Copies of this chain bind each other. A is one copy, B any other.
C-alpha cells in the first residue's frame, strides 16, 4: 500500500476528546473516528488491526472445533422475557418497536438466541457435543461510555457457546477454551491475568475473567509484588503474608459454566442414551474483540506512538522513502516482501523525513525500513525495530532475509 494513496491522515495535535492514552493514540494515528459519544467507526488502519485480532481468535476457536455462525443483532423482546433477563439487563438494552408494533431490542449478548437456535435442532445425545461462536457487533446503552473502545455503546465481541451432555463434557470444553484464550491473548501481545470471578447476571457457578493491568482500568484486583500474583480480594498475600497492592484492570475475556440455566427455560433438551429427556449443559465464552485494541495500545506504546505486536499491526513493515532516487528500489523491496506475504506501507509522500518518521512511529508497525541516500550511495538501508529502538544496517538482500526470519516466511 502506498501512503500517498491511503486513507491515513494522522493528527499533529492531541485530540481533545481523548480521555486516556490508548484512545488518544488510536484517534491521532487515524485508526478510529468518533461518530458520537460511545460510538466509533474503524478507519482502514483500525479495520486492519481489528481483522488481525479477529483472525487470531478464529484460528484458535476453529482449532478447538468451534464452528462460526452469525446471529442477528435484532432480537424480539419475548426471547428475553422467557429468561427474565429483560429485567436484569433492562438498563443497558436498546429497545424499540417496529412498524408492526413488535417489541425489538439490539442484542447486548446472545445466550437467549443461541439457546433458541439449538432448541430447534437438538433431539439426541448423538448430536453432542458442539461449540458455536460468532464475531459480531453488540449494543449496550452504557451509563458512562468512556476510554474510547474500552467502554462503548457499540462494540465487537466474540461469543462462543458450548453444548454438552453433562457437566463432565462441559468441564472438558471449558478447559479447552481456557487454553485457547491463553493462546489468543498471548498472540495478541497482552500480559494478562486469569482470575476466578463472579457469574453475576449470566448465572452458573464457575466463571473466570481474563484481565489486563492498565492505569485506566475500571475493575480492581490486588497484587502481591513479591509473589507476582493477583488476587480478587484485598488483604494479605496467602503465600508471603505481605500486604496486597490495589491494581486497576480491564476485562478482555470472561468465560462461564452456565450449566442448564438457559437450556431448561429455552427448552434445549435432548434424549440421553436411556431415552430420557435432559437439558443440554452449556458454557459461554466471551472476548471483547474491539476492547483488545486499546488494551494492547495502553500497554504497548512510547511517547512517539503505538508499538503493535507482530501479527497485530496494520502492516508488517513501514518503508520510508527518504530520497527521490530511492523510490524505485523501495517499491521493489515492497514488492518482494508482499510476494512473501509480508505486508508493507510505503511512505512515498513528498514530505520531510521528520514527518515520515513521526507517522511511522505513531502508526506503530513493528519494523521501519529506511531507504534513502545511503542506499543510492552504498546499497545500504536501515531497519529500525519499533519496540527495541534498535537500528540495523543491511544490504537489500540481508534486510529481506532478516524480515523473512522475523515473520517466519
Task: Give the B-binding residues of A (Cβ under 8 A).
Answer: 5-7, 9, 30, 33, 35-36, 39-44, 46-48, 50-51, 65, 67-76, 91, 94-96, 98-99, 102, 104, 106, 113, 116-117, 120-121, 127, 130, 132, 137, 139, 141, 143, 153-154
B67-A6 in contact (CB<8A): yes
> Which residues of B are found within 8 Å of A36, using beta-carbon distances?
74-76, 102
Q: Jot down 9 A-B pairs with beta carbons below 8 A, ordered by A.
A: A5-B130, A35-B113, A35-B116, A41-B71, A41-B72, A47-B69, A72-B154, A74-B154, A99-B143
B141-A99 in contact (CB<8A): yes
A112 CB to nearest B CB, Å: 10
- Residue from B39, B65, B73 in contact with A137 in the complex, judged by beta carbons closer than 8 Å: B73
> Which residues of B are found within 8 Å of A91, using beta-carbon distances?
99
- Residue from B9, B35, B50 in contact with A76 in the complex, judged by beta carbons closer than 8 Å: B35
User: Are A42 and B69 also in contact (CB < 8 A) when A7-B121, A9-B127, A94-B98 are?
Assistant: yes
The 9 closest A-B pairs by CB, nearest first: A96-B96, A44-B67, A42-B70, A9-B121, A41-B71, A36-B76, A39-B72, A74-B154, A35-B72
**In the complex, A70 Cα to B46 Cα: how many Å?**
9
> Which residues of B are found within 8 Å of A72, using beta-carbon distances?
35, 39-41, 154
User: Are A44 and B73 also in contact (CB < 8 A) when A137-B137, A143-B99 are?
Assistant: no
A44-B65 in contact (CB<8A): no
A143 CB to nearest B CB, Å: 7
A232 CB to nearest B CB, Å: 30
**In the complex, A132 Cα to B154 Cα: how many Å?**
21
User: Are A98 and B153 also in contact (CB < 8 A) when A43-B117, A47-B69, A132-B7 are?
Assistant: yes
**In the complex, A71 Cα to B120 Cα: how many Å?**
33
> Which residues of B are found within 8 Å of A120, using beta-carbon distances?
33
A74-B139 in contact (CB<8A): yes
> Which residues of B are found within 8 Å of A73, using beta-carbon distances?
73, 137, 139, 154
> Which residues of B are found within 8 Å of A68, using beta-carbon distances?
44, 47-48, 51
A55 CB to nearest B CB, Å: 12
A324 CB to nearest B CB, Å: 17
- Residue from B35, B44, B102, B153 in contact with A69 in the complex, judged by beta carbons closer than 8 Å: B44
